[in-house]
Structure 1
Amino acid sequence: MTQAENERRGNVPPSNKRYFYRTYGLTIASQLELPELPKAEATSQPDVVVLTPGVAEKLEGATFRKGWLEMGDDRCQITIEGVARYRVEDGQRILLDRRVPREVDPVADPGDIRLFLLGSALGGLLHQRHWLPLHVSALKTPSGVWAFTGHSGAGKSTIGAWLHYTQNWPLVTDDVAVIKPHEDIPYLHPGPPRVKLWKDALAALGIQTEGLVRDLTREDKYHLMLNKGFQDHPSPLKALVMLERAEEGEAASLERIRGVEAFKSVMATLYRPEMGTEFNTAEQLMRESIKLAGKIRVYRFRRPWSLDQMNSSIEPLLHEIKQ
């Protein structure tokens, strides 16, 4: 058995070596290699540390427990069965324990371990810093950064990837990006450079699934890591587009929305809102969402669902972006 396998099973102490990366405008020092993230210069004062000690099965003093998530006192613990346990503390530390029960394979896939570390665990850390993590796909267009959001399955990854590949616009994020409320200009700070696409969208874009990482919860969805074509520095957010599915026979349409409706769209875009309400007050989240809605344009975009019509259905969107 290799040392790496032994460590994953919890049989040997973790290495003291540190790897340095950057994401969300943060410098991360990690005991675990994170090839999905851009590398950063070594520093004695990183913003975040990722450590691999043992973690207790339950979060002590938790005020919220539901399924895989426990929260309380600027800490949260995420337990993913068969993968790992993550404890996130004070917006500064992520403690990762790979010694969790597994039904079949005694060794968790390293890609799965990193998937939840870079997703829910980092999302909790962003909320602990009182930032606004937004669940969006965003691109750097000729008129600034446009972000797309909507309920699960609304097609934000599909439309982001479509515009990236057909218009050659750099992707800023395809999962989570963050707004830092203390900044006067609403800069969108990008997260890990990955794209999650359904199998039919990959086929329509001519991308093979061979070698891609399959999503753990959705069999026909795949993860692509794009080391090129991503913006890895913050840019001002110009517009947020709420995606909706058009009724059969309805033409694609783009509508500017304002006021309460725009505010509700921003609130609906928050990543892991249950974490947001735990580590902030409801009043804080509302205040910051209202402020953000007042600084950007907010739209509703309704389009036919067929990928065969995508090039024609995005015409109203392209017209507005290119004005």
Structure 2
Amino acid sequence: MYFYSAYGFGIKSAIALPGFIQIPKEDTKVSIHLAPVSPPRTTPKEGVSIDKLANGLTIHWRGVASYKIIRGREIFITPESGADSISTLKAQPFYGMAIAAILHQQQHVVLHGSSVEINGKALVLLGQKGMGKSTLTAALLSEGHNFICDDVTALLLNDPSGTQVLPGVPRLRLWADAVRAIGHTPDELSLVSPILPKHILPAHEQFKNEHIPLQTIILLERGDTIALHEMKESEKMLCLLGGQYFAKYYDALQDSDHKRLFHSLSTLAQSINIVKLTTPRDLQLLPVTTKLLEQYIR
């Protein structure tokens, strides 16, 4: 067995999760088991599909494995026939969908975004796939700021001192051009998996393994110029609804989940600063973008 921590809780796992913070054997809140998981109800049209259960959900990754996540405490995994040797690929949902499902079941607000600590406050980057959330996070780290999480941002809303961002797993996933843009060499970094040519950038040295107060959420969009734009209240709510982790899999959540999420996101939209950042698709402009964000946060 392996023992880790992430997002503030201990994990006991039957499979290795490289990059997770290792901890001594102790009481754990989440357990990961190798055990049978029911096959998908229908053949997935995409590589990944999600089915709703009475007490959780199942994730089916075609050609890799099936995962059952229940009650915010247990994850069961069944590798598909012939996929057993691809250990790095089997582990990938535990950096994204599986850990997001656990956090969601624990009643956290889970956003599909990356987070950085700047001057003691958390900056969350949201945006559609390919908008550069991880790349901009890595660029901010190269400017000396601290890492909180990548891809999965979990919020604690009921803290007496205000909304907090929970510390995730200290690593980022970057394409080769983004790795070069922030001054690293792709060949010196491991690949995510044999079939996903993203590189893993460790972030242990700048990892903030503690709750960080949330200050600002930035929605990334493409534009002709680098600029920050204020948003109307209705735009902020739409930003958060589209940015919550399971927005694409609406039917996989319980009706009670939708009500809770809507209420939580509405509260967040009214209490947290949310702005839009437009940027051209040009990695050479990363220093300009990071400087603008630093000035804005200050």
Deviations 1:184-231 (A, max 9, x none): 421101222221212211111222222421467754x32323322111
Moved over 3 A (4+): 214-219
Give 1:90's match in structure 2, choosing from 71, 74, 78. 71
Q: Aligned pair 1:156/2:136, yes or no?
A: no
1:29, distance to aligned residue in structure 2 (A) = 1.5
Q: Write the distance in 1 (CA, Å) between the matches of 2:30 and 2:192.
A: 28
Residue of structure 2 equivalent to 1:208:
185
Distance in 2 between the 1:179 and 1:305 partners?
A: 29
Whole-Å separation in 1 of the counterparts to 2:120 and 2:227: 19
After TM superposition, give the deviation of residue 283 of structure 1 in Å.
2.6
Cross-structure match for 2:208 = 231
Q: Aligned pair 1:278/2:278, yes or no?
A: no
Give me the CA root mean square deviation: 2.4
The alpha carbon displacement at 1:180 in A equals 2.7
Q: How far does the alpha carbon of each residue in 1:224-249 deviate from its partner, in whole angstroms, 9 at most, with x for none?
A: 233221112111110000111112xx
The CA deviation at 1:74 is 2.0
* Residue aligning to 1:263: 237
Is residue 2:277 matched to residue 1:321?
no
| Contact 2:139 2:290 (8 Å CA) reproduced | no
CA drift of 1:179 comes to 1.1
The unaligned stretches of length 5 or more in structure 2 are none
Asked if 1:115 is matched to 2:115, the reply is no
- Does structure 2 conserve the Cα–Cα contact (< 8 Å) formed by 1:254 and 1:302? yes
Once residues 128 and 261 of structure 2 are traced to their aligned partners in structure 1, the CA distance between those partners, rounded to angstroms, is 19
1-side partners of 2:168 and 2:94: how far apart?
12
Q: Is the 8 A contact 1:256 1:297 kept in 2?
A: no
Distance 2:241 2:293 in 1: 22
Partner residue in 2 for 1:11: none
Aligned residue number for residue 54 of structure 1 = 36
| Conserved 8 A contact 2:58-2:67 | yes
- The CA distance in 1 between the partners of 2:194 and 2:155, in whole Å, is 28
CA shift, 1:312, in A, is 2.6
Output the TM-score relative to the length of structure 1: 0.82
| Residues 281/115 of structure 1: CA separation in 2 closer, same or farther (3 Å cut) | closer
1:170 corresponds to which of 117, 133, 146: 146
Give the SS at the match of 2:136.
Answer: helix
Distance 2:283 2:168 in 1: 27
Work out whether 1:101 is the aligned partner of 2:81.
yes
Q: Distance in 2 between matches of 1:128 and 1:213?
A: 30
Structure index of larger Rg: 1
State the one-letter code of the partner of 2:278: R
Name the SS of the counterpart of 1:261 in structure 2.
helix
Moved more, 156-165 or 265-274: 265-274
CA distance in 2, matches of 1:33, 1:316: 39
* TM-score (normalised: structure 2): 0.88
Which whole-Å CA distance do the structure 1 matches of 2:295 and 2:204 have between them?
29
Is residue 21 of structure 1 aligned with residue 13 of structure 2? no
Rounded Cα–Cα distance in structure 2 between residues aligned with 1:258 and 1:24: 31
Deviation at 1:183, TM superposition (A): 2.8
**1:138·1:145 contact (CA, 8 Å) conserved in 2?**
yes
Distance 1:43 1:256, change over 3 A: same
Alpha-carbon spacing, 1:27–1:66, altered in 2? closer, same or farther (3 Å): farther
- Out of 237-246 and 46-55, give the one that drifted further: 46-55
Q: In the alignment, which residue of structure 1 is the partner of 2:226?
A: 252
> Displacement, 1:40?
2.8
Q: In 2, distance between residues paired with 1:155 and 1:282?
A: 28
Runs (5+) with no aligned partner, structure 1: 1-17
Secondary structure of the structure 2 residue equivalent to 1:301: strand
Q: Structure 1 residues 170, 314: CA separation in 2 closer, same or farther (over 3 Å shift)? A: closer
Whether 1:37 and 2:20 are equivalent positions in the alignment is yes
Q: Give the deviation of 1:48 after TM superposition.
A: 0.9
2:68 aligned with 1:73: no
Deviation at 1:320, TM superposition (A): 1.0
